[in-house]
Amino acid sequence: MEALVSTHFFFKGQKDFYRGKVRDVYNINDEILVMVASDRISAFDHVLPEPIPYKGQVLNQIASTFLDDTSDIVPNWKLAEPDPHVTVGLRCEPLPVEVVVRGYLAGHAWRVYRDGGREICGVKLPEGLKENDKLPQPIITPTTKAKEGHDEDISFTELNNQKLLTKRQIEKLESYAMKLFAAGSVKADEQGLILVDTKYEFGTYEGKIRLIDEIHTPDSSRYFYADTYEAIQSKDQKQRQLSKEFVRQWLIENGFQGREGELIPEMTPEFVESVSNRYIELYEQITGNTFVKRDYTDIDTSISDAVNAFITNNVQGI
């Protein structure tokens, strides 16, 4: 199966380039960013050896759809989607925090609670909760954006004390994050899903806070199926999840959690195809749209032509 593993473009006006775990990011004239969602897949802070066809398109188009859908309530960085794997947007200055919103006691928050913690990021949690229980109301649990290693929990109070964010910025982030989570929850409900938790990243552009990066994708969010949630929860069983958790579980079952000395298990063509199909299923379930597979023929040329045409028409001085 064909896939977009990595890119090596030099676009008009390009000043620098950054390769993340799954995205290749190009800085154009210090004005806009070209974000190419590759088909690389990561888990446990490792990029896995085999790419997943259509994964980049899935993530890019989910994020692009939800950026458009929420632009009336929160300003964001997106300007255009010139190619199924590409979003072009304003070059914002990232704020040093990931804003995690949780509506249910799952994942990291559950592990803290299970181990006796009753407070996370300065937010107190009630007694008597089980894994995946709905919280009395959604909570925000910020994390630092670590350049290396794992992100760390931090409270908004501590972010202010360390002068990483101003009080006004904190108030704006809280407001925006809750509005986005509410909008995402409504959309999920329409699709028969529950938006369990998600993370948002924000930056500033000309002094104005904007939502950046992706939003409500299966890589940044956790979803449950609504129709079986109550029955499963009443039996104290594991919830059916719509996220890339299935990849992490496969790795765990095959002896890999990213720890020193562990080897990434072989990803057979059959497994790669099954993951690709699962991502397409995620797209259709989350957005309600039919997924149209892109043509990988001459994909580099297609992306280059589309992005350069956008730059020519929209970036001054090029």
For residue 83, what are the β-bridge partners? 86
Give how far Cα 128 sits from Cα of 132, 134, 144, 194, Å: 12, 12, 29, 22
Instruction: Mark out the alpha helices in the chain (DSSP H runs).
Output: 55-70, 107-114, 156-161, 167-190, 226-234, 245-253, 269-287, 299-314
By the 8 A CB rule, do 39 and 4 touch?
A: yes
| Confidence at residue 168, expressed as pLDDT on a 0 to 100 scale | 96
Residue 197: predicted pLDDT: 97
| pLDDT for residue 150 | 63
Q: What is the pTM of this model?
A: 0.91
CA 139 vs CA 29, 245, 251, 273, 274: distances in Å: 38, 22, 30, 37, 34
- Please report the pLDDT score of residue 296 as a whole number: 97
Please state the domain extents for the chain: 14-91+251-314, 93-241
CATH-assigned architecture of domain 93-241: 2-Layer Sandwich (3.30)
Q: Which is it for strands 143-144 and 93-104: parallel, antiparallel or unpaired?
A: antiparallel
Taking only the tens of pLDDT, the chain with its 318 residues reads: 799 999 999 999 999 999 999 999 999 999 999 999 999 999 988 999 999 999 999 999 999 999 999 999 999 999 999 999 999 999 999 999 999 999 999 989 999 999 999 999 999 999 999 999 999 999 999 999 765 556 789 999 999 999 999 999 999 999 999 999 999 999 999 999 999 999 999 999 999 999 999 999 988 999 999 999 999 999 999 998 887 878 988 999 999 999 999 999 999 999 999 999 999 999 999 999 999 999 999 999 999 999 999 999 998 876
User: What is the pLDDT, as a whole number, of residue 302?
Assistant: 98
DSSP labels, 181-244: HHHHHHHHHHTTEEEEEEEEEEEEETTEEEEES--S-TTTEEEEEHHHHHHHHHTT-PPPEEST
Instruction: Return d(Cα 36, Cα 185) in angstroms, integer.
Output: 27
Taking domain 14-91+251-314, whether its CATH number is 3.40.50.2000 is answered by: no
Q: Tokens for 181? A: 């989570």
